[in-house]
Structure formats: structure tokens, C-alpha cells
Amino acid sequence: MRQRALVIGGSVGGLFTAHLLRRAGWDVAVHERAAAGLGDRGTGIGTRPELFATMRRAGIVATDGLGIDVLGRVGLAPDGSVIHERTARGVTSAWSRIWRPLREALPDAFYSSDKALARIEQHADGVTALFADGGRAEGELLVAADGLHSTVRGQLLPGRAPRYAGMVAWRGVVDPHQLAPELHALMFRHMVFGFPDGELMLSIPMPVPQGAAGERCCHFVWFRSADERTLRALCTDASGKAHGLSIPPPLIRPELIAGIKREAAALLAPQLAALVKGTAQIILQPIFDFESPQIAFGRVALVGDAAFVARPHVASGVMKAALDAESLADAISATGDVDAALSRYNDDRQPYGAWLVERGRHIGAAIAARDIEPQQRIETIMREYGAAGLVRDEAMAAR
């Protein structure tokens, strides 16, 4: 009889895990708490060749439409002049361009929506998932891929939770028709940086989430400091209702959006301010990080953001989730024993996750720094932003 894995979370980490475990001979059931599909979520992401290699291992054909080429990095002064350039070619994608083919390749019989997990129960040779609707599922392995605010992690590590980093990101996606044609060559072919004091504005080309191959748009992220009291005020809607530490984009108060657009015009290069001005829906994202002391607990493994939450400065969220899933599937295939496999998985991925969180904090400190020479700060950020995987490779090679 085939062993059964319960995957909690139907985002990219859960889907990578499901595909790779099925190829390793396991029966898999994915349980996603959202009732609707996830294909319209997410914005631009950084990639590396390993991401597309893992997709091929999962049985997904990595077509040209999954990513677009980026020619380099350009830093702008407030007046719009170029103050620093780096030739750093790369490929970016859109979150939905990764999620959709993964989801479409998994038969509906193995994917359940609207299944919010209530708790898990472990026993000697298996684990049971109990859901808010009264349902239950049993298996020999449970994989927690339920993200930043993981229910599974909260049960296994009570008292530990993602820590707010004192920084928010204002985000948006700009289509070509929302930007003057003379800006297209710069904004849709390069990563473009702006450096307000103690902040960072970043523009990243990305494929149109549901467009044809080669179609481009632009994703911007403006990192700004905000203490928790300020964040709670930002997450209070026009009726006075407080939403805690996050808020649905349509409920952001209009005066906040108007203020962000005024401040963009005052603080940013005109090319970057045009992105903020041209965005139909600006999103507010609080920045968190979290480091797990372990990522395997009996018959339970944590993957992706359920295991570690690194700041977006490392641009590795989807990449890390894919490699977590690959490491887990490889460990299970190599040992044939769940307990031994999870120990091996923990030893492989826990140190990397901890390193990635620390790397995100390091880059975050450079963004917020006010006590270093401006040009040094600019060069550091443009060199290190999103280069975590490359830095890690170089560090390992030097040992």
C-alpha cells in the first residue's frame, strides 16, 4: 500500500511538494484553506535556474513564457539622473506564472479548497489533520506549507511567531499603457533603484501575469520605516475598523494612497514616481521575518514560509519553497524511512533557512542605514539585493 502525505497549503510550496512526492511514489492530498483559486495572487519574483529545474522534475514544462530577461541594474538620483549601474543579467517571473502550471498539472482529486486546518494530532506511525469544517484526514506524513502565519507551526512552536521588522512595503504593478512610452526601455528591461533617506524604492520588470509570452509589466516595491503603532494606523480603514497588522488593499484609506503619491513625487526620481502615480491599486505589505529552530517534528515537516520567513530583500521566497520540497522528496526517496528522512531534511534545510533570514536582516539594515556614506550604501544595496543565492554559493565554495 502506498504511503500517504497530507500537504497543508496549496500555494507554490505545497504544490511543489505534492508533485515531487507523487513522483517518489506517494499518495498525496493537498488541503488549501482559501475557497477561491490562488492564481490572481502575488506579484513579481526573482528566479534562478534551479527553480525551473525543479519545475521540470515536478513534470512541468518550463516554457519561455514563465520568465523574462532583465539586462541590469540602474540607480537613480531624485532628479532622475543615473548615479550607479551594474551589469547583472537575470530572469524574473510572476508568482501566478509559477502557481498556475503547478496547479493545472495536479488532478482535482488531489486538491481540496476551503479546508482550514484546526489542529494536528501525531501518533507513532502517522499524523491526523483535523479541519474547521469537522473533517479529518490521516497519513504517514504531514507537510506544512501553510505560509507566514502557519497554523501547523503555531501548534508545534507555541509562543513563537513571525516578528514585525519595523518596515512596510508599498507595492503595485504597472502595465505598459500606464507608463509613458519613453520610459519603457528603462523600466521594463532593468531593475531600477531609488534611495530616499533610510528607504528603498525598487522597480522590477516582470511578465504580465496572465498575458502572452514576452509581454511585460513592472512591479514596484517602496520600503519605508513604520513602527507598530504606525502600522496599526495604516491598517485602519475609513470606517475606523482596525484590521491588525494587515489590511485588504481595497480598504486602504484614500487619503493614505493620495499621500503616498504626493510623497513619491517629492522624494523619488520622476521615472519611479510615475510608477506610483500610474498604479490603479497600491498594496500595503508589512515586512516580517521568522527563524525556526527546527523544521521537522515527528511525522511533520515545515516547508517554505511555514519554516522560515525571510525579508523580501533576498528575493528567494518561491525559490526556497521549491528547494525545500525537493530536499524533502530526495530525503524520503533516499532513505525509505520517514523518521530518518525528516531528520536528514532538517539537517539540510534548517541551516540554510537560518542563513537566509539573517541575510535579509543584513540587507534591511543597509536600506535603513543613515550612518554610512551614501555612495557606499547605494553600491551595497544594488550589489546585494536579491543576490542571496549567489552569495551563499560563493560562501560555500570558499570553505
The three-state DSSP-derived secondary structure of 72-120 is EEEEECCCCCEEEEECCCEEEEEHHHHHHHHHHCCCHHHEECCCCEEEE
**Domain extent listing, the chain:** 4-63+96-162+288-373+383-398, 66-91+164-287
The CATH number of the structural domain formed by 4-63+96-162+288-373+383-398 is 3.50.50.60
Contact present, 26 and 20 (Cβ < 8 Å): no
pTM of the model: 0.92
Tens of pLDDT along the chain (399 residues) come to 689 999 999 999 999 999 999 999 999 999 999 987 776 666 788 888 899 999 999 999 877 678 889 999 999 999 999 999 998 888 999 898 999 999 999 999 999 999 999 999 999 889 999 999 999 999 999 999 999 999 999 999 999 999 999 999 999 999 888 999 999 999 999 999 999 999 999 999 999 877 667 789 999 999 999 999 999 999 999 999 999 999 999 999 999 999 999 999 999 999 999 999 989 899 999 999 999 999 999 999 999 999 999 999 999 999 999 999 999 999 999 988 999 999 999 999 999 999 999 999 999 999 999 888 999 999 999 999 987 554 445 444 433
- Residue 28 phi, psi (nearest 5): -130, 140
* Cα angle for residues 258, 259, 261 (degrees, 5° grid): 65
Task: Give the pLDDT confidence score for residue 349 in this predicted structure.
Answer: 97
Contact present, 170 and 260 (Cβ < 8 Å): yes
Q: Which of 27, 313, 320 is nearest to 145 (CA)?
A: 320
Task: Give the pLDDT confidence score for residue 153 in this predicted structure.
Answer: 97
CA distance to 90, 165, 166, 177, 231, per residue, from 311 (Å): 20, 9, 11, 31, 17
Q: Tell me the fold of 66-91+164-287.
A: D-Amino Acid Oxidase; Chain A, domain 2 (3.30.9)
Q: Which residues contact 112 (CB under 8 A, 6 or more apart)?
A: 29, 30, 31, 32
Task: Give the pLDDT confidence score for residue 42 in this predicted structure.
Answer: 66
Q: Matching CATH topology for 4-63+96-162+288-373+383-398 and 66-91+164-287?
A: no
Task: Give the pLDDT confidence score for residue 396 in this predicted structure.
Answer: 40
Measured between alpha carbons, how far is 244 from 110 in angstroms, rounded to an integer? 34
Residue with cell 517602496: 222
Q: For residue 223, what is the enclosing H or E element?
A: strand 216-225
